[in-house]
Amino acid sequence: MGVVGAAVAGVVVAVGPLLDAVLRATEGLDLTVLYASTVRPFDAVTVREAVARADAPDLVLAEPYLAGTSTAAASEALADLPHRVLALGTGREELRRYGAWQEHVAAHGLDAVGLRARLDTFLRV
C-alpha cells in the first residue's frame, strides 16, 4: 500500500482497479488516499498511521468487491482510536441488466460520480 496523496481531513483506501475513480472522486477534497493493489495482506500499520495523522478519524474503504470485506481488518487496526468507517463496494443484490462493465460499476456507486456523492455525505462536505 502506498500513499498517493497526503492531506488531513480523512483517509480513503482505494483497492485495485478503483484507484482512478477514487482519485477523480477525491479531487479538491482534503483527504489522504492510500492505494492497495490487493486486499490481503491488509496493511494495518499504514492505515493506522494515516488515520492517526488525520484531523478527522474518518476512513473510507473503496473495494471492487462486496462492501465491508475489509471493515473488520480496518476496525481491528484502529481499535484503540475513535474512528468512523465507510465501506464502499458492490452490494449484495445481483445485477443482471447493466450493459457494459462501466454501467455495472456505476450501478454499484463505484464510479467517480457515485463515490464522490457518498464521500460528500459521509464527510458532510
pLDDT digits (tens, 9 = 90+) for 66-85: 999 999 999 999 999 999 99
* Amino acid at the residue 102: Q
Task: Give the CA diameter of the chain.
Answer: 44
Give the span between the Cα atoms of 32 and 73, in whole angstroms: 19
pLDDT of residue 1: 59
DSSP state of 116: H
Q: Provide the edge-to-edge strand list for the sheet that holds 2-5.
A: 2-5, 32-36, 11-15, 58-66, 84-90
pLDDT of residue 94: 84
11-35 pLDDT tens trace:
999 999 999 999 999 999 999 999 9
